[in-house]
Amino acid sequence: MQLLAYIASALIGISLGLIGGGGSILTVPVLVYLFGFDPVLATSYSLFIVGSTSLAGAVQNFRRGLVSVRTALLFALSSVSTVFLIRRFILPLIPGTFFRIGSFTVTHNLLTLILFAFLMVVAGTAMIRGGKIDPEGRISKKNPNLTSLLFFGTVIGIATGLLGAGGGFLLIPILVILVGLSMKEAVGTSLLIIALNSLIGFTGDLGHFQISWFFLLKITAITITGVFIGGLINNRIKGLKLKRGFGWFVLITGTGIIIKEMLLK
């Protein structure tokens, strides 16, 4: 199980380097199901691991001219502050148990995983269906206004703050479908936004959890190695295939989590 957990950690980095998202989608389940962490603590660890790995990937993509800095910074204006406020002030106030229906208990941990999975299913379906797509995975060239980018940034910030998700599984559909970036531009831009959201969000957790820094740095080193491998693979795959593959990956993973948490308990 331990070996499988480390292999999965490498896949987290490969996922981020390849498709600019999926890191949190993998990280939280890996920390919960393979390393045995509490889901709420796992969301905190996920922010550090995914944030550090995404920063390494963003630098790699920036050197290749595949990061829209303007889009990333406009997203960050609203998303970063939203993430920090939620992690610092709102998350500690959420009760561990919400309510019971007979013998079935709805806990904070369960709700976190189910909401996480539901968003994955929605985002994955949007990526698969999309619209008219060119070979680079671009649906249309758009120039969204500041208000739209700030709104989407806030939505990403809420997801990142509550679920410990870097937001890549939501960012990629937004950047491709609504902003109009090509799939590979969306990958690079997503990594920069994820890094800003996750690392600043993690600072909001300091003092709330007892952090195992040795574990975090060890797993982060593995995932950063993976992000460079994923970046090399990305160079060899067309954007359209990346977009559709990402959509199916997110959809299947989200469905699997819902089945496990709701039907196999």
pTM attached to this predicted model: 0.72
Q: Which residues contact 173 (CB under 8 A, 6 or more apart)?
A: 123, 126, 127
238: region left, alpha or beta (phi > 0 left; psi from -120 to 50 alpha):
beta
Q: What pLDDT score was predicted for residue 145?
A: 67
> Residue range 7-27: average pLDDT?
78
Q: Taking 90 as the threshold, does the pLDDT of residue 218 lie above it?
A: yes
Residue 62's pLDDT band, with cuts at 50, 70 and 90, is very high
Q: Which of 17, 42, 72 is nearest to 212 (CA)?
A: 42
Identify whether the C-beta of residue 204 lies closer than 8 Å to the C-beta of residue 103: no
Interatomic CA distance for residues 234 and 242, integer angstroms: 8
Q: Taking 80 as the threshold, does the pLDDT of residue 216 lie above it?
A: yes
Q: Which two tokens stand for residue 108?
A: 């904070």
Tens-digit pLDDT profile for residues 69-116: 888 888 878 888 888 888 788 878 888 787 787 777 788 778 877 887
Identify whether the C-beta of residue 47 lies closer than 8 Å to the C-beta of residue 201: yes
Amino acid at site 83: V
The percentage of the chain sitting over the pLDDT mark of 90, rounded to a whole number, equals: 9
Identify whether the C-beta of residue 117 lies closer than 8 Å to the C-beta of residue 188: no
Between 15-24, 105-114, 170-179, the lowest mean confidence (pLDDT) is in 15-24
What is the 3-class SS of 139-191, one letter each residue? CCCCCCCHHHHHHHHHHHHHHHHHHCCCCHHHHHHHHHHHHCCCHHHHHHHHH
